[in-house]
């Protein structure tokens, strides 16, 4: 599971819309302004840096942040349990 979560996180970081490589992929009329945010956490066992978009739409941003936090929590749990084994 840890490798799957890590793969997802790396995939998100390498996606142009999340990595800040220009404008959002679907920018057009009525598009939300997208700002790049980063969740960072570090311990002696792991280092996490997840880049994610902030759109300014409270519902979308809350959903994205919940997903980012859940992914980070899963990664931390897996890292700690693998380290303690």
- For the whole model, what pTM was predicted? 0.62
Q: Which helix (H) or strand (E) holds 53?
A: strand 47-54
What average pLDDT is seen over the chain? Answer: 80
- The whole-number pLDDT of residue 32 equals 82
Distance between CA atoms of 26 and 17, rounded to whole angstroms?
9
Look at 16 and 73; give whichever has higher pLDDT.
73
**The token pair that represents 25 in the structure block:** 């992929």
pLDDT per residue over 5-44, tens digit each?
Answer: 555 555 555 555 554 444 555 556 778 889 999 999 999 9
- The whole-number pLDDT of residue 37 equals 96
Look at 3 and 21; give whichever has higher pLDDT.
3
Delimit the domains of the chain by residue range. 2-20+34-84
């Amino acid at each position: 599971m840890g490798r799957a979560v890590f793969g997802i996180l790396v995939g998100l970081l390498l996606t142009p819309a999340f990595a800040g490589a220009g404008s959002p992929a679907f920018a057009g009329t009525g598009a939300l302004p997208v700002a790049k945010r980063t969740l960072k956490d570090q311990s002696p066992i792991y280092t996490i840096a997840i880049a994610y978009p902030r759109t300014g739409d409270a519902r979308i941003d809350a959903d994205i942040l919940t997903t980012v936090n859940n992914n980070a929590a899963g990664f931390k749990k897996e890292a700690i349990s693998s380290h303690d084994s």
